[in-house]
Amino acid sequence: MLLHIPNVLNKNELQAVHSLLQKAKFVDGKLSAGMAAQRVKNNQEVSRDDMQILQQLNNVVMGKVTRHPTYQYGALPLRVATPFYARYGKGMTYGDHVDDPVMGPGPGQQYRSDVSMTVFLNNPEDYQGGELVIRTDFGDRKVKLPAGDVVMYPSSSIHHVAEVTEGERIVAVTWLQSMVREPQKRELLYELNLAREKLLKSAPEASETKQVDRSYVNLVRMWSEL
């Protein structure tokens, strides 16, 4: 399931993010890549040593993302990683790859990557190329969203970032472990919850509403890995 979440960050929050990024130290993105990804990754990322800047960025970006209901019901998050803040200048790209299945600094802090997430931090008009291209059963999906929008998709998907031919692409990327491992189950739960919420608003006392609500809750209980 590919989920687009619009308008997660507002104009003032985006301005705050860009002010922080102007102060940040950027390093070669290959430093954070696994062995396979290093061969196809060509971007820059805020240094993980720049802890104060990263903390402030996360307070703004992840503070909004993790409270969004579409994120909560679409991802059913259990553990979420600290994002990488990346920029792609002219000629930069990230070739076809699948995200590492297990991430984290070491034992006790590792997590399984079920859902990948990109937060777009500048507008499509600011750069040419640079689309996030996700391979799906229905063909390639090209994603290039307005600043402040978010896209989530299964980490098992083959994907790449097309070469930036003009301007600069700026994003935050992160991964999370879901309570529900299988993407097909997460999609069913998300769709069922959309119907459930509508029924809870329009007919909260109806027997059908109670049946759908009970089914959703018990499916989450049945499929959750905690």
Q: Are residues 36 and 75 in the same domain?
A: yes
What's at 2, amino acid-wise? L
Examine the domain organization and report whether 66 and 158 are in the same domain: yes
Which range marks the domain in which residue 212 is found?
183-223
Could you tell me if 166 and 191 lie in one domain?
no
Q: Mean pLDDT, to the nearest integer, of 22-38?
A: 88
Check whether residue 30 and residue 95 sit in a common domain: yes
Q: Which residues, other chains included, contact 75 with Cβ-Cβ below 8 Å and sequence gap of 6+?
A: 114, 115, 117, 152, 176, 178, 186
Final residue of a structural domain among 162, 178, 194: 178
Q: 187 and 129, same structural domain?
A: no
Asked whether the predicted pLDDT for residue 67 surpasses 80, the reply is: yes
203 and 173 in a single domain? The answer is: no
Domain count, the chain: 2
* Sequential DSSP letters for 90-137: TT-EEEEE---SEESSSTTS-EE--EEEEEE-S-GGGEEE--EEEEET
Residues 193 and 139 in one domain: no
Which of 29-33, 113-117, 173-177 has the weakest average pLDDT? 29-33
**% of residues, the chain, pLDDT over 90:** 91
Q: What is the mean pLDDT of residues 204-219?
A: 98
Q: Once rounded to an integer, what is the mean pLDDT over residues 183-196? A: 98
Both 157 and 61 in a single domain?
A: yes
Question: Do 204 and 121 belong to one domain?
Answer: no
Domain C-terminal end among 163, 178, 193: 178
- For residue 203, pLDDT over 80 is answered with yes
* End-to-end Cα spacing for the chain: 22
pLDDT greater at residue 174 or residue 38: 174
Q: Are residues 197 and 167 in the same domain?
A: no
> Do 127 and 195 belong to one domain?
no
What percentage of the chain exceeds 70 in pLDDT?
100
Distance of CA 125 to the CA centre of its chain: 21
Tell me if 161 sits within 8 A of 131, measured CB to CB.
yes
Q: What is the CATH number of the domain that holds 84?
A: 2.60.120.620
